[in-house]
Amino acid sequence: MLDSAKVKQIARDMGADLVGITPMSRFEGAPKQMDPRYIMPKAKSMIVVGFRINRGALRGHEEGTHFSCYASMAYGAINTVFMPNFVIRFSRIFEDEGYEAMPFGYESTWGNSVDNYTKPDSSKPQPLLRNNMLHSRPVAPEKPAPDVLVHVRIAAYLAGLGEIGYSKVFLTPEFGPRQRFFMVMTEMELEPDPIYSGPQLCNRCMACVRECPGNAIDPVKTVKVTLAGHEVEWGELDPYKCLYAFRGAQPVENGEKGYYIAGRDDFKPSPFSPFYKKPNNVFTHGEAVCGGKGCIRACMINLESRGVLKNKFNSPFRAEKPWMVDWSDYDPADPRAAR
């Protein structure tokens, strides 16, 4: 018979770095469109599983010499290869005991009713953000529209795995901001983990705000929510600013043209991208040109320097001043830049 200790041991034996368990009741108060209880009404427990991002996968970004390792091995491959492989096999341990279990990815792009494809109206300034607009309607008046998508960082919080930092990135005592999470819901009732109450991780150092290349994290405005009776607060994130800075893009000014993003003429490379054009996607993720400069790397440097992380290294991550690229001579007619 499975119990929480055995479930966690199996997850770790299968390659998980972090495992936490929350009862579904802790989602009480979640917005209807994000409440997993509408997906699986008989679920009693959610197991939240974390896979670490190797610190070394960020090395190429830090040096400015290699960008595809993080995008592929620490982003796309975890999300699209390692995680599905894991959660599908892991969820079967519950069904072998007669308890239905649902493997759950984390990305909104997995919502098959989210409209990512509507052509932008070229007469208006367009953000790079996907529309994220549901083209579905509820199947019954009391239900939310499909697909209900679960806030993975809130799930990790409810499963006791750590804190949500000011950056809105989830921080764990093991790896700080370096992990990705996935979920399995099951009808099996399991002993839950307490909400994290260990040493404070986010000390509001604001390094994430200062080093974010897109100024996407507001230094003053915050979002406050109540999760399982706990007040949780993070900095307001401008997803539009993040989305283009994350890709290494910078909006053109004063009638300039720039072809950094395929199919558009209004973005050039930012000082935080060495590429004339956004790199091609690898494992569906070529977007991570910023390499979490603020919300992951700067945050990790702060947490490591304070000695609060369990995953310790023999040398500090940052050895020299962060690089910037001078694009003052950017010429959109340059064959390397032109579309």
Nearer to ligand SF4, 178 or 277 (CB): 178
Token pair for 95: 């069904």
For residues 168 and 236, the answer to whether their CB atoms sit within 8 Å is no
Helix or strand (DSSP H, E) at 264: none
Nearer to ligand SF4, 184 or 301 (CB): 301
Nearer to ligand SF4, 11 or 164 (CB): 164
Residue from 226, 170, 150, 190 nearest 18 by CA: 170
Minimum distance, C-beta of residue 333 to ligand SF4, in the bound complex (Å): 28
For residues 299 and 177, the answer to whether their CB atoms sit within 8 Å is yes
Minimum distance, C-beta of residue 301 to ligand SF4, in the bound complex (Å): 8
Token pair for 80: 């699209």
Minimum distance, C-beta of residue 144 to ligand SF4, in the bound complex (Å): 28
Nearer to ligand SF4, 8 or 247 (CB): 247
First to last CA, the chain: 60
Distance CA 304, CA 323 (A): 21
Strands (E) located in 212-329 = 217-227, 230-237, 249-251, 258-259, 266-269
For residues 5 and 33, the answer to whether their CB atoms sit within 8 Å is no
Residue from 330, 318, 193 nearest 271 by CA: 330
DSSP state of 176: B
Distance CA 3, CA 221 (A): 42
Name the residues that contact ligand SF4, by CB under 6 A.
165-167, 202-208, 212-214, 216-217, 242, 245-246, 290, 292-295, 298-299, 302
Nearer to ligand SF4, 92 or 204 (CB): 204
Helix or strand (DSSP H, E) at 50: strand 45-52
Nearer to ligand SF4, 145 or 205 (CB): 205
Which residue has the CB atom at the shortest distance from ligand SF4? 165
Query: Reduced to 3 states, what is the DSSP secondary structure of residue 26?
Result: helix
Residues 6 or more apart whose CB falls under 8 angstroms from that of 85 comprise none
What interhelical angle do 83-95 and 4-13 show, nearest 10? 150
Distance CA 328, CA 271 (A): 9
Phi, psi values for residue 134, rounded to 5°: -75, 130
Nearer to ligand SF4, 159 or 216 (CB): 216
Nearer to ligand SF4, 168 or 277 (CB): 168
Minimum distance, C-beta of residue 298 to ligand SF4, in the bound complex (Å): 6
Sign, Cα dihedral of 58, 166, 206, 109: positive
Nearer to ligand SF4, 8 or 297 (CB): 297
